[in-house]
Amino acid sequence: MSRRDNCYDNAMAEKFFSILKTECIYRHKPNSFEEANRLIDDFIWFYNNERVQLKTKLTPYEKRCQLITI
């Protein structure tokens, strides 16, 4: 829940859902709920485990593992 007059509380979630819609849903236009569910699952897997961030040159999963071992 966002605090009153603070737009930064939900910024990360809003950004993720924007990317999900533009790169997954709008691009593939699923015909059924099951197809949309599969596309979203595949995209979340890609987003967390395969997508390399430009800033860190690591995937989000690799970055989390790196932080855990510190």
pLDDT in tens, the chain (70 residues): 556 666 677 788 888 899 999 988 999 899 999 999 999 999 999 988 888 888 888 998 998 898 887 6
What are the helix (H) ranges across the chain? 11-20, 26-28, 33-49, 60-69
The reported pLDDT for the residue numbered 1 is: 53
pLDDT of 35: 94
* pLDDT at residue number 10: 78
47-68 as b/e: b if 16+ CB within 10 A: beeeeeeeeeeebeeeeeeeee
**pTM of the predicted model, to two decimals?**
0.70
Tokens 């699923």 correspond to 30
Q: How far is CA 70 from the centre of its chain?
A: 25
